[in-house]
Structure 1
Amino acid sequence: MPVFRQTRKNERARLARAHRRLREGFASQQEADLTSRGKRGVVGEMHARLVGDAPLDLCSLDHLQPRSTMFLTGIKVLDLGSYVAGPAAATVMSDFGADVVKVEPLGGDPYRTLLGGVLAEYPNFFWDQDSRNKRSLAIDFTTDAGRDAIDRLILRSDVVITNYRPTLLARLK
C-alpha cells in the first residue's frame, strides 16, 4: 500500500508541474495586443505563436511547435490498451508531448493485422495512426517475469491507460 500512495503523490506532483507550466506559458502576454486577425487573449496568443501574421507554408515544418515545449513534455504514459479506444487516448497524449510506451503481448496487438474485420498479413493504416509517437515493447503477460516487468513500468509511469476487461487485469496481479 505505501508504494501506491507514493505513486499517487508523485502523480499529483507531476500533474501540478504540468499545470504550472501551462499557466506560466500564457501569463506573460495574455493581456498583450495581438495583431493576428485582431484577436486578444489566450486563443489569439496561441494562434499568433503558431502562425503569426505571415501566411502558413504547409510544405515546411518550421511552424510546428518543438516537442520539448509541448504541454505534456515530461509526462510518462504507459499504454496497456488494445485495439482502438485505449491506444487512441494515449496517442492524443503523445501528440501533446507525452512520452508514451505501448506494451503489447508477445504476438503483438491484434489490431496491428486487423484489416476490414479480418486478419491481414501486414500492418494496417489505422494501427499506424493509433501508434504514432509511441515506443513499443512486447511482454509475455502470462509469466511472473512479464508481470514483474509490467509492475515496474507502472511504478515509473505518471499515467496508465488500459481498456482491458477487469477480469483480465485481475489475472495480471
Structure 2
Amino acid sequence: MAVEESAIVKELNHYLLDHPDETAVMTPLFDAMLDHSRLGHCFHDGNCPVVKAGAILIDERGRALALRHEDAWGFAEDAPSAADESLSRTAVRVLEEFAGVHDVWMIPGTESPVLVDTSRAAPEDGPRTRYGFRYLIRTHSSVLLPGGTVASRARWIPLDEVGPPVLRARLKDRLAVAR
C-alpha cells in the first residue's frame, strides 16, 4: 500500500496546525497533493513537488544519529515506496535500509513531523521543489555496535550540533514535552 496523496494532505494539515507561519511555503505541496487526491492522477506535467521522509533518531542520552553520505554527515531520507503506508513508516524504513537500525519507537503524542523542510529537488528529479518530512524517532544507543558495518557509516552527534537551528530547537521542545 503506497502513501496516498490524501494522507500527505492530512499530515500537512496536522503540521500546519502547529506551524501556521509556514503555510505559504507549504501551499504548493498542499495544492498539488489535493489535486492528485481529487483527480486520481497527476496533470502537472512532471512538475509536482517531490515528497521525501526521514527520521531524526535520538538516543537515551539526547544524541542524534548522523549517517555518512559521500563526504558529509546528515540525516537519510527517501521517497515513499509502494510498501509504505505512511510518511512516518517511510522514515522508519529509511533507518532500517540505510542504517540497519530496527529497534525504534515514536513517542506517543509526537507522531507528526517535527519539521518539513524545503529545497530544490535533486537533479534527477528535474526543476521541482523537494519537501522533506522529518520525524522524531527514539532508540537506545546500543543499536550501533562498535566496529560494526553500521557503526562505520553512522555516528551519534550532540543535539547542539544538529542543524538547521529550527530543527534543533523543535527537537529540544519535543523532547522536553515528552519527559
> Per the shorter chain, which TM-score range?
under 0.3
Q: Which has the higher strand share?
A: 2
TM-score, scaled relative to structure 2: 0.25
Q: Which has the higher helix share?
A: 1
Which of the pair has more CA radius of gyration? 1
TM-score, scaled relative to structure 1: 0.26
Structure possessing the higher relative contact order (Cα contacts under 8 Å, 6 or more residues apart): 2
